[in-house]
A and B are shown apart, each in its own frame.
Chain A
């Protein structure tokens, strides 16, 4: 007897977790639910809820005691009273310190991101175009600093840029006056570029390495100059990588604390540092919470942009 196509049993629908599912269903939960629920519950309790708590505390006021803020709900003679203070937010908009800190954070993060892009793009492109045996080694060299301590890299940079540091010693050999680099905004830019460069290079590399070289050849054959090909073919095709890399630098840079406090000067105003001082220095927890909420509002659009771009990078990578 021969089997023909329509005599074959219909293909079983594959559901990888059905067995575990059956076992756990006896106890009342499906395996699928368990796999989803464990991380979902953890993230809800320790990531989403805390963000709401921050919002709640930002509507309290500082008071002495433990915890050092006023309760939102008070019961007095059988009535529950909800007290919301908007003073922290009013202060954010009226005190020039906060407004200036937000603006200067955005400016510093933006400029640093652009510099990182201009340094990172050629590097990513060079790695993507490197011969196969070199490519993995170069990639490893990009990733290596990412694995070493962030704090220690900032420290290394400070040793490089300080008054009697390596750069100024090299300049001295050529008889050039020492430059004041530390405790300036310049040092903060260098710090951000230095520490976040791998974040820029990796997504750029992912999009550039998948770039169809025949498109470039076609463009060249049709008489485009290399820079025209770059502008009209390479650049648009690597746009998801540009956006993803830029957001990966821009978002954490806005809230950066370590770099401005170790490399920047006293007048380097960044919002992460303001929040830190508000919390640890002034122990004004509600004010710090309001600063955090406002910072969240600033980064939420870049975060959404990043997620869109990352999906595109992953799609391109396939």
Chain B
């Protein structure tokens, strides 16, 4: 096939569009001046300022805890859901379950947030639980939408899975319980890891839903960042963004390398 010049140029421009703003954000986090767009010398003082900001650190700690629990609960529920959808071809309500689990993926955040808040308020006045809103209500809300993403990730891995391995184990007398933990789980483990990480980052990133379902005194990191950048530019947000982007980039690059090694091993075997 003839290779034209159009595709490479389009792709290069596209990637430039995706990356230039992020690169400039990282560069200006090391800027001396408070103006985040005018270069006036190298400095790491915004990082110092960031780590002295009690409010920011408190919010970060809260967000990390919420993300950890939401991703973990969502991993269990999402894996069960994926198993149900891939392994059980026919059961009552399968289409409803399949539709419901993927709906939070695209549901506008404002609707999800408002709906859950109204549910929590209604439950509080009729059942007396949850008393007030805060970390628990945010974890429930995040679990629900993280679960949708994890189901998709695990589902695609499960449907690629070679059934004959499980069948062989069954023929050799393994109980289904053992088959799941000894055969299925190790094979889908990479999907579980990436699903959990995806849930963790999504929870860490959510502003809109958390704003609805959080209570007084439980401001998550995105809520603090949002109110800061609403007021104008602040270089310590650049510093924070640089740290987050650095961690994510390291993680994704490492995962890609491990993934490539894994797939080349499979090819060799």
Residues of A participating in the B interface, judged by any CB pair closer than 8 Å:
12, 14-21, 23, 31-32, 35-36, 38-40, 42-44, 46-51, 53-54, 57, 67, 119-120, 122-123, 125-127, 129, 136-138, 140-145, 147-153, 155-160, 162, 164-166, 169, 194, 197, 213, 216-217, 220, 226, 247-248, 251-252, 254-258, 261-262, 272, 275-276, 279-280, 285, 288-289, 292, 295-296, 299, 303, 306-307, 310, 314
User: Is there a chain A Cβ closer than 8 Å to B248's Cβ?
Assistant: yes
Nearest chain B CB to A184's CB is how many angstroms away? 17
Report chain B residues within 8 Å CB of A18: 176
> Judging by beta carbons under 8 Å apart, are A279 and B11 in contact?
no
5 A-B pairs besides A122-B7, A295-B108 with CB distance below 8 A are A16-B180, A147-B252, A151-B222, A155-B229, A295-B111
> Judging by beta carbons under 8 Å apart, are A15 and B176 in contact?
yes
Report chain B residues within 8 Å CB of A123: 10-11, 14-15
User: Is there a chain A Cβ closer than 8 Å to B204's Cβ?
Assistant: yes
User: Is there a chain A Cβ closer than 8 Å to B8's Cβ?
Assistant: yes
Most chain A CB inside 10 Å of its own CB: which residue of B175, B225, B260:
B175
| A242–B251 CA distance with the chains assembled, in angstroms | 30
> Judging by beta carbons under 8 Å apart, are A32 and B256 in contact?
no
Interface majority SS on B: helix, strand, loop or mixed? Answer: helix
Report chain B residues within 8 Å CB of A120: 14
| A216–B27 CA distance with the chains assembled, in angstroms | 44
> Judging by beta carbons under 8 Å apart, are A159 and B36 in contact?
yes
B interface residues, how many (CB within 8 angstroms): 102
Residues of B participating in the A interface, judged by any CB pair closer than 8 Å:
1-4, 6-8, 10-11, 14-15, 17-22, 24-25, 28, 35-38, 76-78, 80-81, 83-84, 87-88, 91, 93, 97, 99-104, 106-112, 114-116, 118-119, 121-122, 125, 140-141, 143-144, 147, 151, 156, 166-167, 170-171, 175-180, 198, 201, 204-205, 207-208, 211-212, 222, 225-226, 229-230, 233, 237-238, 240-241, 244-245, 248-249, 251-253, 256, 259-260
| A44–B2 CA distance with the chains assembled, in angstroms | 53
Candidates B1, B7, B19, B109; contact of A126 at CB < 8 Å: B7
Given known A119-B17, A258-B208, contact A36–B180 (CB-CB < 8 A): no
| A148–B246 CA distance with the chains assembled, in angstroms | 9
Shortest Cβ-Cβ A-B pairs, 10 listed: A255-B108, A19-B175, A50-B115, A122-B10, A39-B81, A126-B11, A126-B7, A156-B25, A156-B21, A50-B119
What are 6 A-B contacts with C-beta separation under 8 Å?
Answer: A39-B147, A46-B143, A149-B222, A262-B230, A288-B114, A303-B106
Chain B minimum-CB-distance residue to A213: B1
Candidates A48, A142, A254; contact of B108 at CB < 8 Å: A254
Nearest chain B CB to A110's CB is how many angstroms away? 15
Most chain A CB inside 10 Å of its own CB: which residue of B6, B114, B222:
B114
Report chain A residues within 8 Å CB of B125: 67
Nearest chain B CB to A42's CB is how many angstroms away? 6
> Judging by beta carbons under 8 Å apart, are B256 and A255 in contact?
no
Candidates A17, A216, A279; contact of B212 at CB < 8 Å: A279
> Judging by beta carbons under 8 Å apart, are B110 and A136 in contact?
no
Most chain B CB inside 10 Å of its own CB: which residue of A12, A14, A251, A310:
A14
Chain B minimum-CB-distance residue to A288: B114
Candidates B4, B37, B175; contact of A226 at CB < 8 Å: B4
Chain A minimum-CB-distance residue to B234: A155
> Judging by beta carbons under 8 Å apart, are A307 and B18 in contact?
no
> Judging by beta carbons under 8 Å apart, are B106 and A152 in contact?
no
> Judging by beta carbons under 8 Å apart, are A40 and B109 in contact?
no
Report chain A residues within 8 Å CB of B248: 144, 147-148
Report chain A residues within 8 Å CB of B177: 19-20, 23, 31
Nearest chain A CB to B148's CB is how many angstroms away? 9
